[in-house]
Amino acid sequence: MRPSRYFPHPSPFPECSRETARALSTAIVSELRKETAAGPPSREDGCVYTGAAGKAYCLYRIGELDLASQLLHLSLHQGSKRRRPSDGLSLMCGEAGVAVVAALVSHASGKTETAQKMVDKFCSFAASSSGLMTSKADDEWLYGKTGFLVGALELRRVLGNQAVPSQIVESVWNGLLRKGVSTGWVFPWHGEEYVGAAHGTMGVLHALMSVPEMCLAGGAGGSGNREALEAGLRTVLGWKCPDGNFPAVVEEKSQQMSELVHFCHGAPGAVLLFSRAALLFSSQAYAREAVAAAEIVYSRGLLRKGPGLCHGVAGNGFALLVLSRLPPPLLSASESERWRSRARQFAHFISTDEFRNGSRQPDTPLSMWEGWAGVLTFLKALSPSEPDKGDNLDPFPLFSVFPV
């Protein structure tokens, strides 16, 4: 891998203190307030991935509901004019994702009627003749059916299972499982067979395993859904490159080294996928795969590309933090503390002048997935103050490893 893609570990490599985390969070929120007061950037589309809705979600995660509501207003009333109708059902880039965030923020703010309207809007995409269940809809997490399923699960987790009808969840779940089995767990996107969390098989399998009652049910022909999913996991492991990382696309699996160590492409997605598999199937073998992927993330994860969740230091640090939450016997207490410590090291590095001066400025510097808003959720998840809260137990935003 070209050294220019990532920073070498500093020496010493300190952990992030509460004071540093608090100061950085305060600074990020201050910048979001300034931007909100000035109005959205000229190219702002209001979406979850890079727009106002994503910033609102991050503020919701840290309890800044008033500012989150202001950003949602911008997303709903200004950004919608710039979003593409073809992206409607996308969790990250479409109206469905905005509806999820609006429902969550409204619910947390006590606006029950508004929350229900947003849930109804989200569910309407499942009934649209040009929407969710058509063959034209993508399968993956960022734009397609997998992301829609994740949005439905998030609404059910927070608002209750009645929020999104079971038939919607089951229809999407069964459709994705059938597609995976029939294609050998390959989900082409724009002509490429992607592997990772954002566009590929890792993301689809992860979402499917987030519905435990479906995973452990019997499937067509009596073979069982678990067997089908584990076949998918074996397929992903078969794509691993010799260096231990995972390729962006299947055709690159024979390369000696895969350069991308991002949530969207590479080992961070594998940490999340195999952590989920370890929990669901009580499997130390899958836990070992998660640890192996995390070693790649730790060694090459201080990315110069930016601070964000998708292809930045916060997303990679988050993967380490998620791994640390695996309970015994999947991970010993000493192993858990080692990975928590490493996650805190990544958080500290984001706060340093070395990172700020040596990393690339994202195109959307305050956004959730490319920029600094996503860092807020990472810093919040590192806080030990409220270990029993759901957002602290299950930290990674909209890619849940510990579903209720």
State the binding site for Zn(2+).
264, 310-311
Binding-site sequence positions: 264, 310-311
Closest CA to 301 of 315, 290, 287: 315
Single-letter residue type at 69? S
Say if residues 73 and 89 touch (Cβ distance below 8 Å).
Answer: no
Closest CA to 269 of 205, 324, 350, 340: 205
The C-alpha torsion from 79 through 81 and 82 to 84, rounded to 10°, is 120
Instruction: Report DSSP state, residue 372.
Output: S
Strand duo 188-189 + 192-193: pairing:
antiparallel
Closest CA to 144 of 193, 203, 196: 203
- The rounded distance, in Å, linking the Cα atoms of 326 and 109 is 32
Q: Which residue do the tokens 């994740």 mark?
A: 150
Single-letter residue type at 108? A
The pair of three-digit structure tokens given for residue 49, joined into one six-digit string: 């991935």
Cα-to-chain-centroid distance, residue 303: 17
Cis peptide before 12 (omega within 30 of 0): yes
Distances (CA, A) of 373 to 312, 340, 378: 12, 21, 9
- The rounded distance, in Å, linking the Cα atoms of 201 and 185 is 6
